[in-house]
Chain A
Amino acid sequence: MLDFPPWKITFILLICAIGLLAAVPNFLSDEQVESLPGFMPSSKVTLGLDLQGGSHMLLEVDSEAVVQERMANLEGEVRDALRGLRIIANITTSERTVRVRLRDESQMREARKAISDLAAPVGEGSVLGASFSKNIDVNTEGSGTILATLTEGAIKDRITNAVEQSLEIVRRRVDEMGTREPTIQRQGADRILLQVPGLQDSGQLRALLETTAKMTFHMVNESADPSRPPPGYMTLPSIDTGEMLVLERRARLSGESLVDASVGFNDKSQPVVNFRFDTSGGRRFADITRENVNKRFAIVLDDEIISAPNIMSPILGGAGQISGNFTVESANELAILLRAGALPAPLTIMEERTVGPDLGQDSVDAGKIAGIIGLVGIVIFMILVYGWFGLAANIALLVNIFLLMGALSTLGATLTLPGIAGIVLTVGMAVDANVLVFERIKEEVRGARAPLRAVEVGYQQAMSTIVDANITTFIAAFLLFQFGSGPVRGFAVTLGIGIITSVFTAVVVTRLLIVVWMRRYRPQRLII
């Protein structure tokens, strides 16, 4: 156990040197790190949001809304298909099923075929295996009713798409705010984790995230009674004038066709939002306005009418203007939202944690002070109890801290406040392996073994205990990492890495130091 051939010593020193180098950037300012030569590592430990300040938000995509919208579309498709065949039916939707009751039962076969034709393959069905699954199941009930049900696969597919799309929209909106390095990740089936470092006030972020910003253009039916809209129509309030208007349920155009939106002012110097459609959207907008001169159309944002102007003349250029009750700020916010695009479904903030940068800095300082005081206490204590051996253990302990910092920097792990606690705890426990060995050596010395032999036997005997003790703690750290979230995970990371580095330094580095020392001075008697 005490045999250290030169290659082994070189190897151990090399690991220590790499660890030290990797830890160095953490003790330098950003400018100093910049000026380091190229071969030096330059990554620092990433501080968690609780240490550098920022907002952490967990958002959930409203999957029920996604499904409901899909059902509304399906109902529309069924209606259109049957209308095309001049089949008259009573069509209702409940939960995941569109129910079609035919007036004339003899049209059953024809109607069923038309509805079945609406089904499309879902997901990426393999071309070789004929495992295409359809997005709707068509069944009959009795002699005159057809049921079109959305399949589980179709629902899952929709939700997945909606979440992916939301992720992209959230990214664009957060980028528009000009924040630095936000983290945006998908979590679980329908959630999005958003972390924005250094954000002082989360209010604006909240406002941006909670608006769906779904903009649609509908024709207004001015002859209908708002309290009883005919089938295929809906009544919505206008935030501009306060009146209730009856609109076609079907959107003639949607915000997806927009390519740009910006704040401007109209001739009365009121803030407005100018927008431009893409080519096909512009063409459709031209057609609609040409066919509906002197009629009103409504611009609807998230189920509220922002304005419902009269079409004076056809608009051919593909550009338009929304005027409503805007302030410059609200016009700007709407422009951002329109530029970034609409969310496919509303987002709900499930969890939010915001830490101000001052508090973060205070925590870092407190952690540093606690760490240094704890460390100094342990260093003094070890020397008092174990003398030279304690000194060796202390050197190993310092190496351990560097290795731990180096490992955290290199792995890109995030250091959180509980993570600092993890480091301090590792420091407390790191000496344990040495204590185990030293107590064994003491016993051997008492049993009148020769010094070198006592050290050797001490290490041998303590080894299995050290392994058992550390593996069990490592199991706890691993489970914490698996099931913990946020700061707890940070704790698990430092504890887990700390166990590995502390076993290495306590067992290997200390032993090397002691062996080198004993070879040199050949003590006749061990004072321990």
Chain B
Amino acid sequence: MLLRLVPESTKIPFMTARGITFTISAILVVASIVLFFTRGLNLGIDFVGGSTIEIQTSETADIGEIRKLVGGLDLGDVNVQEFGSDTEVLIRFEEQPGGEEGQKAAQIKVENALKQDIEGVSIRSTSFIGPKVSGELARDGMLAVSLAVLAILVYIWFRFEWQFGMGAVVALMHDVILTVGFFAITQLDFNLSIIAAILTIVGYSLNDTVVVYDRIRENMRKFRKMPLAELLDTSINDTLARTIMTSLTTLLALGALFVFGGAVIRGFTAAMIWGVLIGTYSSIFMASPILLLFNLRQTAFSDEDDGPGQNVVMP
């Protein structure tokens, strides 16, 4: 007998819960925005400039000692943390005065101090981002995310009705904002690869949403007299097995990457895991119920049909 994740046919009334889920989402979105402005993101050097140096020590690294050593070099805000294992340390310091030149001089100073004072240290990687480039990277990142959302809106609009396009974009914004909120809470390093993660989350969440929307469209043609709320419930229940199955396989792959993929991409995979959870939630509880608010009527699909009573007005 095969494994059944979801009973053969479910009839979960998702729409009746929309008051609750909308409220929860609204609270989370507002909290994310507030956190973004108060606590802020732990922006990586990709966006604010600065340097990182990743080192490996022969024995368990003494974070305190390294902090004292690098902190004594008069470089302003220095961040020293364990990175992946107890012999690996990531040192990060902020942008130095004197532009690109000053930054590089500071980096060389740190490298030399480490080599001199810590026995058996090896430098695994160094990065240095000047102020000019970091500004451009931040701008390009914002541009990529905005353009992706816009392009997707246009595509959905083209393939479906405008209500679907709006619904998809609201769900996307919801996902993006909550992901940003996730980074504000966890204070994980927000760098260039997180932008990539957000864009992939956008793609994934949309994928989920489109699958549900496709079913809604199909059911609207099939069950012309069904009230919209009931029709949305039916569609979500129809696709529920697939939604859960795909989320699980994707999470399986991401989970393996999170645990075994190494420290360098841990932030990236954490963002993706969160995004898959949020994206799945939003396509069920946000993208579909919101169609009720946008006054989606079934007339849109029945123009070849005639007679009144085909229209389903929002309850």
Contact = CB atoms under 8 A, between A and B. Distances in A.
**Residue of A431, A488, A492 with highest tally of chain B CB at under 10 A:** A488
Interface stretch (B64-72, B100-108, B225-233): B100-108
Contact of A435 (B125, B246, B260, B269): B246
A384 B130 contact: no
Nearest to B218: A461
A358 B159 contact: no
Given A418-B265, A424-B256, A465-B210, A429 B140 contact: no
B3 interface: yes
B199 interface: yes
A362 B56 CA distance: 12
Interface stretch (B144-152, B181-189, B306-314): B144-152
Interface residues of B, number: 75
Contacts of B249: 378, 381-382, 428-429, 431-432, 435
A473 interface: yes
B128 A351 contact: yes
B93 to A, nearest CB: 15
Contacts of A418: 193, 196, 265, 268
A348 to B, nearest CB: 5
B262 interface: yes
A281 B101 CA distance: 35
Interface in A458-502: 461, 464-465, 468-473, 475-477, 479-480, 482-488, 491-492, 495
Contacts of B2: 384-387, 527-528
Contact of A482 (B8, B144, B250, B260): B144
B200 interface: yes
Contact of B124 (A206, A356, A417, A476): A356
B92 to A, nearest CB: 14
Contacts of B261: 366-367, 370, 420-421, 424
A393 to B, nearest CB: 10
A409 to B, nearest CB: 22
Nearest to B245: A435
Contacts of B151: 475, 479
Contacts of A435: 242, 245-246, 249
Contacts of B301: none
B207 to A, nearest CB: 4
Contact of A465 (B54, B56, B140, B211): B211
Contact of A373 (B8, B152, B256, B268): B256
A486 B192 contact: yes
The range of chain A's interface size is 35 or more
A242 B268 CA distance: 54
A296 B257 CA distance: 69
A475 B152 contact: yes
B124 A355 contact: yes
B314 to A, nearest CB: 25
B54 A359 contact: yes
B155 A428 contact: no
A348 B183 CA distance: 33
A40 to B, nearest CB: 31
Contacts of B56: 358
B293 interface: no
Interface in B263-315: 264-265, 268-269, 272
B143 interface: yes
B214 A366 contact: no
Nearest to A443: B238
Contacts of A482: 144
A473 B246 contact: no
Contacts of B173: none
Given A371-B256, A385-B245, A472 B210 contact: yes
Contacts of B248: 381
Interface in A336-372: 348-356, 358-359, 362-363, 366-367, 369-371
B33 interface: no
Contacts, number: 223
A353 B127 contact: yes
B122 interface: yes
Given A465-B210, A473-B203, A483-B140, A354 B260 contact: no
Contacts of B245: 385, 435, 439
A385 B253 CA distance: 17
Contacts of B251: 428
Interface string A422-446: 0011011101100110010011001
A339 B94 CA distance: 38
Contacts of A354: 125-127
B199 A479 contact: yes
Contacts of A375: 253
Given A465-B214, A472-B207, A353 B126 contact: yes
B206 interface: yes
A58 interface: yes
A421 B132 CA distance: 29
Interface string A196-238: 0000001100100000000000000000000000000000000
Nearest to A357: B124
A266 to B, nearest CB: 32
A385 B128 contact: no
**Residue of B123, B128, B156, B196 with highest tally of chain A CB at under 10 A:** B196
Contacts of A350: 100, 130, 132-133
**Residue of A425, A477, A527 with highest tally of chain B CB at under 10 A:** A425
Contacts of A348: 100-101, 130
A384 B3 contact: yes
A425 B264 contact: no
A374 interface: yes
Nearest to B142: A483
B136 to A, nearest CB: 9
A472 B256 contact: no
Contacts of A464: 214
Interface in B88-132: 100-101, 104, 108, 122-130, 132
B213 to A, nearest CB: 8
A348 B99 CA distance: 10
A413 to B, nearest CB: 16
Given A351-B133, A354-B127, A484-B196, 15 more contacts: A356-B124, A366-B261, A367-B261, A370-B260, A374-B253, A381-B249, A417-B265, A424-B256, A424-B261, A425-B272, A428-B252, A432-B249, A435-B246, A475-B152, A480-B144
28 contacts: A50-B264, A203-B108, A349-B130, A351-B133, A352-B104, A356-B124, A356-B125, A359-B264, A370-B257, A384-B3, A421-B269, A424-B257, A424-B261, A428-B253, A428-B254, A432-B242, A439-B239, A443-B238, A446-B9, A472-B152, A472-B203, A472-B207, A473-B204, A476-B199, A476-B200, A483-B143, A485-B192, A495-B200
**In the A-B complex, the 9 residue pairs with the closest CB atoms:** A428-B253, A476-B203, A374-B256, A366-B262, A428-B250, A483-B144, A473-B203, A374-B253, A370-B260
Interface of A: 50, 58, 60, 202-203, 206, 348-356, 358-359, 362-363, 366-367, 369-371, 373-375, 377-378, 381-382, 384-387, 417-418, 420-421, 424-425, 427-429, 431-432, 435-436, 439, 442-443, 446, 461, 464-465, 468-473, 475-477, 479-480, 482-488, 491-492, 495, 527-528
